[in-house]
Amino acid sequence: MLLDPTALGQLSTIDPSIAAALAAMPDIQIPWNDPVTIKQTTARLEGMIDDLLGPLEDTLQESYDEFALRDGTIKKVKIHRPTPQASTGRPLIVLYFGGGFISGGINQMTQYARGLVRAFDAVVVCPDYRLSPEFVFPTHQEDSFDALKWVAKNALRLGADPSKGFIVGGSSAGANCAAAIVRMAQGEPLEYAITGQWLAIPPLFRPDIVPEKYRQYFLSREQNAKSKILDQDALTVIGKFTKWDGPSTIPWPTLSHQVLSEVPATYLQVCGMDPLRDDVSYTRRY
């Protein structure tokens, strides 16, 4: 059931307890017009999170590996596994980091990866991809797909058995990459079938590609135009740096004409005050 515009507006009202908690925290401003400072700010925040995580417990192990992109560029993946190794392999989860396609890195997803290793006894792989403004659309999604192909091909060596579960996911920009490459895998099948995807705060629409019958409900860009961290101005700047123009099915996989019933089970996640809220709400209608 679709919420009416009034109900949607209520989702943009902050809970008093959350407002109080935010008021007690440092006001972090991300200078979206300055890519260099964005990268530095994100790296500093990721470093703070790593410090809070503390040392790795004995039941987990982490390592790095390398893979080649289609043009020969070498990138890294971070691999999270339980100890000891299982003789029969474990479920495989691949996570992509966020940062507006401008910033971020493979250590960003460490807290999620460790939690998933603990919860599901899984192998979790976090690949790198190239960033804007140095690299523009569709580099982010193509790099992510190249990484996924490498992970699938090397799954057994990594200690995973994707037949026990093969999940692709990410946060924000990483969620867009995850959604895009799941669609790509429909046209270029991998060694193993993807069994699910986790999309947290994914950018999947923009107002001009929302079907006419749903546009009256696509309000979060307006209602949350001044939200913290990511606002409408930030989305505009991200579009400029990544050079996403035109209704391509790569950054906007919801426009794909591939069979929707073949898309794996999907968990969508977003908050009411996020400008990307309705990207998620109306993805569910497809």
Residue 258 CB neighbours (<10 A) = 15
Q: Are 216 and 5 in contact (CB under 8 A)?
A: yes
**Per residue in 200-219, pLDDT tens?**
999 998 888 888 988 888 99
Residue 161 reports pLDDT greater than 70: yes
Residue 286 reports pLDDT greater than 60: no
**pLDDT band at residue 282 under the 50/70/90 scheme:** low
CATH number of 28-283: 3.40.50.1820
pLDDT at residue 203, as a whole number: 93
pLDDT at residue 246, as a whole number: 67
Spell out the domain ranges in the chain: 28-283
**Average pLDDT, integer, range 124-134:** 98
**pLDDT band at residue 284 under the 50/70/90 scheme:** low
Closest CA to 183 of 145, 211, 155: 145
Q: Identify the residue with better confidence: 67 or 23.
A: 67
Q: Residue 75 to residues 25, 42, 104, 131, 146: CA-CA distances in angstroms?
A: 35, 19, 14, 12, 10
